[in-house]
Amino acid sequence: MNELLPFRLEPYFRTRIWGFNDLNPWYDYKTDGEPIGEVWLTGEMCTAATGPLAGQSLTEITKKLGRGLLGTAYGTGEFPLLIKLLFPKEKLSVQVHPDDAMAQKYGEPRGKTECWYALDAKPGAAVALGMRPGVTADQIRASIESATLEDLLEMVPVSKGDMLFVDAGTVHAMGPGVVILETQQTSDRTYRMYDYGRPRELHIDKSLEAMRVKTRAGKIPAHAENGHSVLIDEKYFKIERWDVPKPGDTGRLAASTGSVQMFFVVDGALRISAEGGEIFTVGRCELAVVPAESHEVRIEAESPATVIRIYPNSV
C-alpha cells in the first residue's frame, strides 16, 4: 500500500481563556464550556482524515514516513512547522519566544520564530511588536510591577491581508479584532512577560533574557512571483497566496519543493490526488499535507479558491 499520499488533517480545537464559545463563520463549532482560542491545523493531536493513514496522528505519520514525508525538512525527524488559527476575543498576554540558541541552552530542541497572516481584521485592530525605542530592561521590570507595560509597547495597526513577521526575541502581544493564520517553528515554548493582572504564571527573568532590543519584526510586503504572491520568505518558512479564479487544474500549485507542503484553503475548495491515491476535497479553513515524495500530485479548484501554500525553508 502506498502511504506517501497527500492527506487532509482534522483540526484540533484548543481552549484558551481569551477565545470564543462560537467560532462561526469560520467553523461550525460551539461550546458551552471553556472558550476556544486556537485551532491547530498541524499539531501533534491532529489526525489524518483521508487516505490509508486516516485516524493516525500527525506525530505517528511523521514517525512512520520520515524522510518520505518531510524531504529536505527532515532535520530532527519532527514535523517542522506548527500552523494554527487564532481567534482572540480578548488581549493575549505579552510574550517573548526564545531563539534556537536559548531554547537549546534550556534543553529544548529549537526556538520559536513565527509569522501572522491576517485572515480578517476589524477597524482599529492592532498588535504589539517590540518595545518603543530606548526602553530598558529596568523600565520593563518597573512597568510590570506598576501594571503599565502596555504603555511601552510598539503598536502596529493590522488590516485584512497583512503578513507580520515575529522573529524570536520580539516582545509581542495580539489584541482582539483579528483572525490570524499563524505559522511557526514546531515549539510551544513561550515566556509570559505580562498578563494584565490575570492569575497566570509569569516568566519575567527568562522573558528579559530572551528579549532583543532590536528585531526584524513587522509587516512584510507581498511580492508577485510567477502568477502568485509570496507573502513571506524567511529562514524557517515560505508562504504563498494563490488565487484560483475558476475550476480546473493548477499544475504549478502542485510543483514539488523537495520538502513537505501544506495547503490551507481560505475560500472555495480544492480537489487533491496523487499517483495511487483517491481524490479528496479540502474546503474552507481546512488544511492538506502533501508529502515530499508523493508522485504525480494533482491539485484542482473545485470552485474558485484562495489558497495559502506553506513549506519549510530549513530546520
Under 8 Å between Cβ of 252 and 244: no
Question: Distance of alpha carbon 183 from its chain centroid, rounded?
Answer: 2
∠ at Cα 60 (56, 66), nearest 5°? 125
- Would you list the DSSP string of 88-150? -SSPPPEEE---HHHHHHTT-S----EEEEEEEE-TT-EEEEEEPTT--HHHHHHHHHTT-GG
Q: Which residues, 6+ apart, have CB-to-CB distance to 239 below 8 Å?
A: 115, 117, 163, 183, 230, 231, 232, 233, 308, 309, 310
Instruction: Look at residue 60 and give its three-state secondary structure.
Output: helix
Examine the residue annotation and report whether 8 is marked as an active-site residue of this protein: no
Check the annotation: does 114 bind a ligand: yes
Comparing C-alpha atoms, which of 278, 269, 276, 270 is closest to residue 293? 276
The three cell numbers of residue 100 are 534556537
- Active-site annotation holder among 8, 110, 189, 192: 192
Q: Is 210 left (phi over 0), alpha (psi -120 to 50) or beta?
A: alpha
Under 8 Å between Cβ of 210 and 97: yes
Q: Can you say which residues are annotated as belonging to the binding site for Zn(2+)? A: 97, 114, 172
What residues are annotated to the active site?
192
| Binding site residue list | 97, 114, 172
